[in-house]
Structure 1
Amino acid sequence: MFRNVEIALASLYVTTTGVLIAGIYYVHQILGVQQWGIIAFVSLIITLGVGGILAKIAITPLREHFYHLERFSKETLHELNLPINTITANVQMLRKTHTDEKSLKRLERIEIASEMLKERYNELDYLIKKQSEREKIEHFDLREAIEERFVFLRSLYPSATWEINLTSCEVNCDRIGLGKVIDNLIENGVKYSPKNPIITITLRENILSISDQGIGMDEITLMHIYDRYYQSDSTMAGYGIGLNLVKRYCDRYGIALHISSRIHVGTNVKLEFKKREK
């Protein structure tokens, strides 16, 4: 499909150039117009008209491809919602009839897995809307958003020790996207820490700080952390795109991103939000 688009665009370039040359020749030689300003203007109008028609023809297959892809993604996302809700509802029913500790632990693991599926569902929904430039800008308290993410992440990482110190901070941005940013930073802290990680989250005034006491990074790694698909440790799970997405989100909403790290000491990430004018 993309091969056809390349051929169409190449044909568009050749045809448009040919039309421009032919237009200049026709106006100058056939019509006998000697003023080059008029010749250039008429030729440009003809070229724009023909070029616009050919461009529409060339781009149509690509536009249709992305339209069908977006529709398929939305339909798939909608169908995922039903099994997730079914799992959640049945777990709640089973909790009423199973009271022994072993069964409750199994149900708890199912609930955690279900929550993870919900998170992936929300992430896909966010990415689809982001591609369509339909992010929802909200005014909210950043502390509440962090506490909401903390409740979810604490259930995923029960072995972690959490040091939380939050104050209120009013922000204006895409709440779902910011939740993904917070998740990614905390998950990185846990992933690159020992078996019992210590994660410190502080929010003072307009600065959110997330720190760990993990393996840390050297200066060379710090130079590449925003590169897509880059991973300092290939044995770790993931695809190396997290910090790239964090950086893009921060750039989009004017959030200053600062990362400092030392080998075998840990990493600190600071998000500095714009101060609201009083």
Structure 2
Amino acid sequence: MFRSVQIALASLYVTTTGILIAGIYYVHQVLGVEQWGIIAFVSLVITLVAGGILAKIAITPLREHFEHLERFSKETLHELNLPINTITANAQMLRKTHDDEKSLRRLERIEMAAEMLKERYNELDYLIKKQTEREKIETFDLRDVIEERLGFLRSLYPAASWDVSMEACEVRMDRIGLGKVIDNLVENGVKYSLQNPRITITLYNHVLSICDQGIGMDEITLMRIYDRYYQNDSTMAGYGIGLSLVKRYCDRHSINLHVASQVGEGTCVKLEFKKKERNGK
């Protein structure tokens, strides 16, 4: 499809340029018009008409393509909601008829997997809506978002230990997207800790630090962590797109992102938020 569009655009551009040059030559040389203002005006009109045609040819197939992707994504997202709710509802029903420890552990794993699917569902829903709608910018205390996300992450990673210290920090940005950033950074810390993960989270002077004591990264890996689909350890779960999304969010909201890491000692990610000025901006 796009190949034919390129050919059509190139052909129309060459044809329009040829017509424009021939028209100027005809008006000036054959008709003997010496008023260059008239010639320039006619040339401008021809250029605007050709530009409108070029724009329509270029945009129409792209609009149709993205509308198809958007429609497909929304339909797929809607279909995912049903099996997630079905799994959750049936797991709750089975809890009422099974009380032995082995069955309860299995049900707990099923419920946890369903909760993870629900989180991914919410993330996909957020990303799709962000593409079609403007982000909802609001003012809130960063501590509330961190505590909200930790409520979920603690249940997701019961073996991890948490060291949390926070002070008030008022920010103005997309709250849902920031929650996804925190989720990603914490999950990376847990995922790359070999055993007994310990996550330290501090919020002081508008700087959020999320640190782990995991395997760490060397200098070469640090240079590539924002590359889409890159993973430090290919055996780990995930697609390696998390930090790429984090970087884009931070750039969009003017958050300074710093990553420090040493092999065998762990990684520390710092998000430096802009302080509000006295006039409230």
After TM superposition, the score normalised by the length of structure 2 is: 0.90
Structure 1 residue 233 displacement after superposition: 3.0
Structure 1 residue 30 displacement after superposition: 4.4
Q: Partners in 2 of 1:168 and 1:93 — Cα distance?
A: 42
- Contact kept, 8 Å, 1:20 with 1:44, in 2: the verdict is no
Q: Which residue of 1 aligns with 2:183?
A: 183
- Contact kept, 8 Å, 1:206 with 1:274, in 2: the verdict is yes
Greater mean deviation of Cα atoms: 114-123 or 73-82: 73-82
Tell me the alpha carbon deviations over residues 16-71 of structure 1, each in whole angstroms, 9 at most, x when there is no partner: 32233233234323443324444233212211112212331343122112111111
Q: Partners in 2 of 1:86 and 1:231 — Cα distance?
A: 33
Q: Partners in 1 of 2:228 and 2:33 — Cα distance?
A: 56
- Contact kept, 8 Å, 1:5 with 1:59, in 2: the verdict is no
Inter-CA distance 50–117: structure 2 relative to 1 (3 Å threshold): same
Matches within 5 A, 1:261-276: 261-276=261-276
Q: Which residue of 2 aligns with 1:162?
A: 162
Q: Partners in 2 of 1:156 and 1:19 — Cα distance?
A: 67
Q: Partners in 2 of 1:136 and 1:12 — Cα distance?
A: 42
Inter-CA distance 47–148: structure 2 relative to 1 (3 Å threshold): same
Q: Partners in 1 of 2:92 and 2:138 — Cα distance?
A: 32
- Contact kept, 8 Å, 2:9 with 2:57, in 1: the verdict is no
Structure 1 counterpart of 2:251, which letter?
D
Structure 1 residue 239 displacement after superposition: 2.6
Instruction: Give aligned pairs, total.
Output: 278
SS at match of 1:228: coil
Greater mean deviation of Cα atoms: 95-104 or 58-67: 95-104
- Contact kept, 8 Å, 2:257 with 2:269, in 1: the verdict is yes
Q: Which residue of 2 aligns with 1:236?
A: 236
Tell me the alpha carbon deviations over residues 181-219 of structure 1, each in whole angstroms, 9 at most, x when there is no partner: 111111111222222211111112311100011121222
Percent of aligned pairs sharing the same letter: 81
Structure 1 residue 156 displacement after superposition: 2.3
SS at match of 2:274: coil
Structure 1 counterpart of 2:168, which letter?
S
Q: Which residue of 2 aligns with 1:216?
A: 216
Structure 2 counterpart of 1:135, which letter?
E
RMSD (Å) for aligned C-alpha atoms: 2.0
Q: Which residue of 1 aligns with 2:205?
A: 205
Matches within 5 A, 1:72-221: 72-221=72-221
- Contact kept, 8 Å, 2:5 with 2:57, in 1: the verdict is no
- Contact kept, 8 Å, 1:12 with 1:58, in 2: the verdict is no
Q: Partners in 1 of 2:232 and 2:37 — Cα distance?
A: 59
Unaligned stretches of 5+ residues in structure 1:
none
- Contact kept, 8 Å, 1:28 with 1:34, in 2: the verdict is yes
Structure 2 counterpart of 1:274, which letter?
K
Structure 1 residue 6 displacement after superposition: 2.2
- Contact kept, 8 Å, 1:143 with 1:169, in 2: the verdict is yes
Unaligned stretches of 5+ residues in structure 2:
none
Structure 1 residue 12 displacement after superposition: 3.3
- Contact kept, 8 Å, 1:224 with 1:230, in 2: the verdict is yes
